[in-house]
Amino acid sequence: MIVSEPEQLEMDNCHDARSDDEEVGVSASDRRKPRHVRSGIRHRAGDESEEALIHGVDLDDEVTKEEKKEADGKVLRDLAINLILIGLWYLFSLLISVYNKWMFSPDHLNFHFPLFTTCVHMLVQFSLSSLVLYALPQFRPTGLFGENAKPEETTLGASPDCLEGSRASWFRFNSRAEERKKAQQGRMTTWVYLTKIGPCGAATGLDIGLGNMSLKYITLAFYTMCKSSSLAFVLIFAFAFRLEKVTWKLIAIISVMTLGVVMMVASEAQFVAIGFILVLLASALSGLRWSLTQMLLLRNPATSNPFSSIFFLAPCMFISIMAVAIPIEGFGPLAERFGELVSQEGIFRAIGIVLFPGVIAFLMVSSEFA
């Protein structure tokens, strides 16, 4: 029988395809390799299969066990890290609450300027976050301290040289296309700062400032009980921003928590209305700011780690608290009381008393964000 050349080529291709399909242990990507390479792969796969049969081991089971062990190890590591961060947050939160009560209470240091003190905390947090970002480049957002965009982030028509010189254009309004491009590059823009960073920073600053101010009127135990209601506000704002799905279970949790706070407040012997209102406002703002923070950490590359978040939020927090502190506390009484503190403790000790809680606040907020 005479076979034409095209038919012969077709038969050869079919034979090669059948031979490739029959090769044991050769993947689809390996079939595209030369035959002598595939032969080596087939022999290695056969040797491994034969060795597994000799020892009575199923390769699929072995891989599954290794993957399961690796997954369990990752879960345990994540759990340990989360427990450490939660423990650190409780430690720093307790330290700063006790310190602020000692600092602001008339029975102790009586430095009754919680809002101005919180402004100083914001400056300390901004300075420490700047130091961390400068020392650790892996935490820097694009454009900060000369940090360039990665090559794969510059595929939208902007060259790395152009991006490197664009730090001066951080805080100017851009077109929608430019905003989208900078957002994909992980750069901070005016629109993002005003619409996302600004509200989050204001809520955070007022939360801390009003909470500190309430300690002038109420006991630390009463403050702690009322501030626990912030968890309920967190869930309420999570529902509002669709970060959580509304369920009857979560509604029941919020109701029980709120009822518990009301029962604790009702039994408080030293109930002070103004202090209760201040700490309740702080709790509501705490719920708002954590929902906004969640969106910043997860949806904005420029604030995807605790240190860059503090770096961008601290100025907004400082401005929001300062706007409230000036009419309420006043610069004159502040200068007079700080002069008395310097005469009592000395200049360096007085400065340390004011700055030290800012360091604790930085560590607390970092563990919170993380």
Task: Indicate the domain borders of the chain.
Answer: 71-141+184-369
- Amino acid at site 297: L
Could you read off the pLDDT of 181-240 as tens digits, one per residue? Answer: 766 666 777 777 888 888 888 888 888 788 878 877 887 778 877 887 787 888 888 888
Whose CA is closest to 274, among 226, 339, 337, 208?
A: 226
- Residue 14 predicted with pLDDT over 70: no
Number of neighbours of residue 1 by Cβ within 10 angstroms = 2
C-alpha count within 13 angstroms, C-beta hemisphere, residue 204? 30
State the pTM of this model.
0.62
Averaged over 69-95, what is the pLDDT? 88
Could you read off the pLDDT of 123-173 as tens digits, one per residue? Answer: 999 999 999 988 888 888 776 665 555 544 443 334 444 444 444 444 455
Q: In 70-173, where do the E strands start and end? A: none
**How far, in Å, are 8, 9, 11, 117 from residue 5 at the CA level?**
5, 6, 10, 91
Please tell me the distance from the alpha carbon of residue 134 to that of residue 187, in angstroms, as a whole number.
16
Could you read off the pLDDT of 83-137 as tens digits, one per residue? Answer: 998 889 889 988 988 888 888 877 788 888 888 888 999 899 999 999 998 888 8
Please tell me the distance from the alpha carbon of residue 354 to that of residue 104, in angstroms, as a whole number.
11
Q: Which tokens belong to 88?
A: 């650190």
3-state secondary structure 69-120: HHHHHHHHHHHHHHHHHHHHHHHHHHHHHHHHHHHHCCCCCCCCCHHHHHHH
Number of neighbours of residue 239 by Cβ within 10 angstroms = 17
